[in-house]
Amino acid sequence: MDLRIDLKVLGNFLKKICGLTLCLVTSTAFADSSLQLYGVLDDGITYTNNVRTSSGASHELQFISGSTIGEHWGLTGSEDLGGDWKTVFKLESGFSSSNGAQAVTGSEFNRQAYVGVRSPVGEIDLGQQYDFIGQIFPFYSIGALTPAGLLGWSLHSDAAGGYSLDDRVWGENVGNAVSYSSPSVGGFKLNAMYGLGNVAGSLGTGATTNAVISYNVGDLSASLGYIAVHNNSEARHVNTREFVGGASYKIGNANIFGLVTHVEIGLDTTPSATTYEGGATYNLRPDILLGASYQLQTRNNGLASANQLTIVADYLLSKRTSTYIAATLARDHAFGAQAQAAYGSVSDSTEQTAVRVGLQHTF
């Protein structure tokens, strides 16, 4: 009798030990891995004057989603492999909150979808990624440093010229890409990427080569970059190459920034455009950010220049929600001016003004 009781007690004790062990193993597994859901929503009203219409000059009032930054949601995570090695991944999908539609129909993770390995000697990622021009250089421009967004990207994207001289600063994704990011050594960091075109019978078609070297120490940040796209199927990227440089310096509550890009298309006339931008942001209070920038674009082949002035005020309602107003004045002496990239309409003259009031939430 006593033996049977002892066996039952022992059995219950062993069950508790096994359960505790399983809990510890499970909690350890979760502690070594991470998974994060994130995203951005941005909605607002944009007013644009001098819109070119069949009936003559007019104005435009638009409800636009994703003007500050393309709306998206995503999953990112990592798994600890031991010895400071990790597996990392990111799945990111763009959408429009104005109608709930995908940014690219039929493509679930249309922005980024990659897996990689991070180690003490750097990180290697495989899959669809944003080129390093779009990952690094927006932070030397009013378009990303403030909610100016598309109102600050018009000259960079050459919207009035049909995007033929897009300098990619606002970011474009590269499919079939292999990238490497080095650790920081003495403030220097190297990022390099090669995108395979994956076109049958034509190894180089659509291939992308991209490299950026950056220096970040204290309040100073500076980067130099190069990208080339070979025989892309899109006409605006036929043998395109670009050189870009940017820098920023923080002084108290102010951040002074500058950016220069030069993009060329390998056609008979070698059309090119050089875009200069300089500006500053200032934290008037912890919850109020002010910003302003001036941009100038020069082109070859006898095309006249364009310039743009942008000002922004951003008020933080919380750490994740802000409301803002952005205004820009654009002048283009070669094409009809266009103050807003992507969603804007071309002016019936060399001048156009746009004003946007919006609300942004991140999670």
- Residue 347 in domain: yes
Report whether pLDDT(267) > 90: no
- Residue 125 in domain: no
| 26 and 175 inside one domain | no
Residue-level pLDDT at 52: 76
- Residue 109 in domain: no
In 3D space, the residue among 196, 167, 193 whose CA is nearest the CA of residue 264 turns out to be 167
How far apart are the C-alpha atoms of 248 and 256, rounded to whole Å?
5
Using 50, 70 and 90 to split pLDDT, how confident is the model at 234?
Answer: low
Residue-level pLDDT at 164: 76
Q: What number is the average pLDDT over the span 251-260?
A: 98
The total number of structural domains that make up the chain: 2
pLDDT tens for each residue of 144-164? 999 999 999 999 987 777 777
pLDDT tens for each residue of 211-222? 999 999 999 999
pTM, full prediction: 0.86
Compute CA 326 distance to the chain's CA centroid, rounded to the nearest angstrom.
19
- Residue 176 in domain: yes
Report whether pLDDT(236) > 90: no
| 297 and 321 inside one domain | yes
Q: Is the Cβ–Cβ distance between 227 and 179 less than 8 Å?
A: no
| Alpha carbon separation from 11 to 4, 5, 8, 18, 23 (Å, rounded) | 10, 10, 5, 11, 18
| 6 and 143 inside one domain | no
Q: Within a 13 Å sphere around the CA of 5, how many CA atoms are in the beta-carbon half?
A: 2
Structural domain boundaries, residue 280: 33-74+130-362
Q: What number is the average pLDDT over the span 72-80?
A: 97
Beta bridge partners of 51: 58, 347
| 54 and 187 inside one domain | yes
| 155 and 222 inside one domain | yes
| 19 and 55 inside one domain | no
| 275 and 306 inside one domain | yes
- Residue 123 in domain: no
| 20 and 153 inside one domain | no
pLDDT tens for each residue of 89-107? 999 999 999 998 888 888 8
- Residue 108 in domain: no
Q: Is the Cβ–Cβ distance between 92 and 111 less than 8 Å?
A: yes
- Residue 212 in domain: yes
Residue-level pLDDT at 128: 95
- Residue 124 in domain: no
163 burial level (CB within 10 Å; 0-12, 13-18, 19+): middle
- Mean pLDDT across the chain: 88
| 10 and 151 inside one domain | no
| 290 and 356 inside one domain | yes
Positive or negative: CA dihedral 131, 63, 158, 143: negative
Report whether pLDDT(294) > 50: yes
| 214 and 268 inside one domain | yes
Beta bridge partners of 107: none
Report whether pLDDT(15) > 70: no
CATH number at 182 reads: 2.40.160.10
| Alpha carbon separation from 136 to 33, 169, 190, 221, 259 (Å, rounded) | 27, 8, 11, 11, 11
pLDDT tens for each residue of 157-212? 877 777 778 898 988 899 999 999 999 999 999 999 999 977 665 666 778 999 99
Residue-level pLDDT at 21: 43
